[in-house]
Structure formats: C-alpha cells, structure tokens
Amino acid sequence: MAGPVRHAVTQPGASAQHTYQVTDADTAASLGSGDLAVLGTPRLLAWCEQQTVAAVAADLAPGSSSVGAEVSIEHLRPSQVGASVHVTAWLVHIDDRRYRFEVVANDDSGDVVGRGEIIRVVVDADRFMSRLPRRSGFDVDP
C-alpha cells in the first residue's frame, strides 16, 4: 500500500515561463473549438497548464506528481498563426496539497492574450494511478 503523499519543497513565488509560436495546429479551427484560424482557447489553456507543471516539477518529492483540479481562464485577444505568445505561471498559494497559480499570456507587444487561475493538487503518482479502473485490451465502447 502506498504511503502518505510527499510534499514538495516549492514555495509561493516559484514560476515558469515559455514562449510559444502559434501554428496551424493550435488554431480554433484545427482544435474544433471554433472555425477561425486564430489561437484556440484549448491550446492556450494547455500552454498555461504546462507552465504550472514546470513551475513545481523539479521540487516535487520522488513518486509525487501534480494533477489539474480547477481552471478559470479568460481568453481576451486573438493571436494569428505565426504570432508569439509568452506564457508565465506563478505559484501564489499553497494549502496543504492544493497549489494555486496565476497565469498570464502576453503577445510581443505586451498585450494580455489571456489570464487566469489554475489549481493543481500534489498526489502520490502510484496511488493515483492505482485508483483507475482496470481495463484489458481494447474494450472501449464504439
């Protein structure tokens, strides 16, 4: 049986930042979240989540991981294919295993493309995965 969740040594203020370039695969039309060739909200959210993961990954105890629990994102401006989007996540609060992040995405001119809050929960990876239903083979319903 798995032991208790091992907490990270990360403190509020930890952050991660990455610059992404919008490609055809990132558009609302490609992702099915709209029909325009602009950055799709699902991709913006994924980029924001990637930075929350990066902000704490190095400090998680061995065998621990973080999983997304809550998301609130405002997608404020369109970004065309070829545009750069700079995404930053800051850890602003820790409550036991719940880590709250503020995220912001800016374009090259500094305008805010999107912003929001993401909460992740630190879990024991083996224990978390052991709670999934056991499936054998390809018994997926059509």
Q: What is the pLDDT of residues 52-83, one digit of tens each?
A: 999 999 889 999 999 999 999 999 999 999 99
User: Could you give the percent of the chain with pLDDT greater than 70?
Assistant: 88
Greatest pairwise CA separation for the chain in angstroms? 52
* Distance separating the N- and C-terminal Cα atoms of the chain: 35
Query: In this predicted model, what pLDDT tens digit does every residue of 106-133 receive, in sequence order?
Result: 999 999 999 999 999 999 999 999 998 8
Domain covering 15-130 assigned CATH 3.10.129.10 in the classification: yes
Half-sphere exposure of 72 (CA within 13 A, CB side): 6
Distance CA 14, CA 91 (A): 5
pLDDT of residue 134: 78
Structure token digits, residue 9: 């040594």
| pLDDT band per the 50, 70, 90 thresholds, residue 142 | low
| pLDDT band per the 50, 70, 90 thresholds, residue 1 | very low
Distance CA 107, CA 56 (A): 24
pLDDT of residue 139: 55
Asked if 14 contacts 94 with a C-beta cutoff of 8 angstroms, the reply is: no
CB atoms within 10 A of CB 140: 6
CA distances to 71, 72, 96 from 118, rounded to whole Å, are 5, 6, 16
Structure token digits, residue 96: 């036991």
Amino acid of residue 104:
V
